[in-house]
Amino acid sequence: SSHCPLLGVYDGAEFDAVKGSLAPGDVLMLFTDGLVEASDRDISEGIDRLTGEADHYVSTGFEGAAWHLIEACAKDVNDDRALLLLSRRP
């Protein structure tokens, strides 16, 4: 759980800088809660579904993976649905 302000909402919000690296073939996935949160399920279930679908689509080819993930996990959701996939080539 995080105690930081929402990303991109407040002018002048400050965050701790964190460094990391992606190994060849690694994928970084950033998403809004609209992809994983629903009134009929716990958010952890939505995260599990999204990561499971991501494993499938990213491992079979990166082309169109973000669109497929949104369609698979939140096609009929009436909420924000944003997803960024960043991959380091093998």
Domain range for 32 is 27-87
**Using one digit for the tens of pLDDT, what is the confidence trace for 20-56?**
999 998 999 999 888 888 888 888 999 999 999 999 8
Given this model, what pLDDT does residue 1 score? Answer: 53
Residue 12 falls within a domain, yes or no? no
Q: Which residue has the higher pLDDT, 72 or 7?
A: 72
Residue 20 falls within a domain, yes or no? no
**Using one digit for the tens of pLDDT, what is the confidence trace for 60-69?**
777 888 899 9
Rounded-to-integer distance, Cα 88 and Cα 21, Å? 10
Residue 79 falls within a domain, yes or no? yes
Given this model, what pLDDT does residue 2 score? Answer: 62
Burial of 69 (0-12, 13-18, 19+ CB in 10 A): buried
> Is residue 12's pLDDT more than 70?
yes
Q: Give the total number of structural domains in the chain.
A: 1
Residue 76 falls within a domain, yes or no? yes
Residue 74 falls within a domain, yes or no? yes
Is there a contact between 31 and 50 (Cβ–Cβ < 8 Å)? yes
